[in-house]
Structure 1
Amino acid sequence: MATDTNAAAEVAAGAPPGMPQLNIDTFGNQIFWLVLALLAIYFVLSRVALPRIAAILAERQGTITNDIAAAEDLKAKAEAAEAAYDKALADARAEAQRIAGETKAAIQADLDVAIEKADAEIAAKAAESEKAIADIRAGAQEAVKEVAKDAAQDIVALMGGKADAKAITAAVNDRMKG
């Protein structure tokens, strides 16, 4: 209750009740200090803080611009490298196909020569074989004629007849001719 009596004593003494900031008598003084504080803050910010902030922002913007330019330059270099790689790859494929074609042609030429040589050897062996077969056939026909003559003489002798060698040879020769 002591505080109630103090407040009542101040009101009775003529002091206005409430906050001192809202006291109309001190508004001029408060406005002066408010303007002075705002001017001090403005000058500190405009002369010290804002130039530093602007310099940092400009530096960041410059860095970003330089990085973007470097990225575009690297992108152009990468595209050029990719184009060169694609061209080199296409050239290598064309060269490989050319070499493969030349190798295939060379192999085909060697194969043709080998086939011609083999055909010639086969033809020579076939001619030798046909000659050997013809010789064997001729020898076989002679052997058949001899066997036929001997058999005919033996058959005639077994039957009790006498066979003339010229007649048997003529008969065998007629039969062999067809």
Structure 2
Amino acid sequence: MASETAGELLHEAAEPHGSGGLPQLDFDTWPSQIFWLAVALIALYQLMSKIALPRISSVLEERADAIADDLDRAEEFKRKAEEAQAAYDRALAEARGKAQAIAAETRAQIQAEVDTEMARADAEISARAAESEKRIREIRDSAMASVEAVATETAGAVIEAVLPDLSDPQAVEAAVKAELG
């Protein structure tokens, strides 16, 4: 009998308990499942509301503050960059103005020097021209005197060769002067 009892026990152990299927759907275990579900939800709610959510919200708040600080710093840097750009533009405009003033002053100095040199050159040219005119007049007067002398001699020689009796050097000289001008 002992062997039968052991065989029956094995057979009972091998046989599933209750109905075949999922134990979650067994209505006999629902009250305990609902109890543990409520306990798990309450514990999860407590963990989330007391530990996880405050940490998450503090991290989110810190990130929002960091982003706001970064935006404020970026705005400050942007303002400083705009001020620097404006200062650069002013300095560039001043430098251009100074460069134009220096260029105008230099042009005026160069023009004054050119005018002075032109006046000096004009005076020198005028002096040389006057001297040249004087020398030309002297040369012309000398040439005219030479022409007059040659013309007088030639006329006197021609008259003496053609009409030796009528030769009058003073008359010949007066006629040559009248003819030459």
| Structure 1 CA distance for aligned equivalents of residues 134 and 163 of structure 2 | 43
Map Cα deviations across residues 90-139 of structure 1 (whole Å, 9 max, x no partner): 11111111111211222222222222212211111111111111111110
| Structure 1 CA distance for aligned equivalents of residues 19 and 170 of structure 2 | 183
User: How many percent identity over aligned positions?
Assistant: 47
Tell me which residue corresponds to 1:172. Answer: 176
TM-score of the two chains, using structure 1 as the length reference: 0.84
Letter in 2 for 1:173: K
| Structure 1 CA distance for aligned equivalents of residues 89 and 152 of structure 2 | 90
Tell me which residue corresponds to 2:7. Answer: none
| Structure 1 CA distance for aligned equivalents of residues 122 and 114 of structure 2 | 12
Tell me which residue corresponds to 2:4. Answer: none
| Structure 1 CA distance for aligned equivalents of residues 72 and 96 of structure 2 | 36
| Structure 2 CA distance for aligned equivalents of residues 64 and 39 of structure 1 | 35
Tell me which residue corresponds to 2:127. Answer: 124
Map Cα deviations across residues 26-83 of structure 1 (whole Å, 9 max, x no partner): 2111100111111222222223322222222122111111110000000000000011
Total equivalences in the alignment: 168
Deviation at residue 142 of structure 1 after TM alignment: 0.4
Is residue 111 of structure 1 aligned with residue 114 of structure 2? yes
Is residue 60 of structure 1 aligned with residue 63 of structure 2? yes
Tell me which residue corresponds to 1:3. Answer: none
The 5 Å alignment of 1:1-178 reads 15-159=18-162, 161-162=164-165, 163-177=167-181
Letter in 1 for 2:72: A
SS at match of 2:21: coil
The two structures, once aligned, show a CA RMSD in angstroms of 2.2
| Structure 2 CA distance for aligned equivalents of residues 47 and 166 of structure 1 | 153
Letter in 2 for 1:84: A
> What are structure 2's unaligned runs of at least 5 residues?
1-11
* 34-43 vs 142-151, which moves further: 34-43
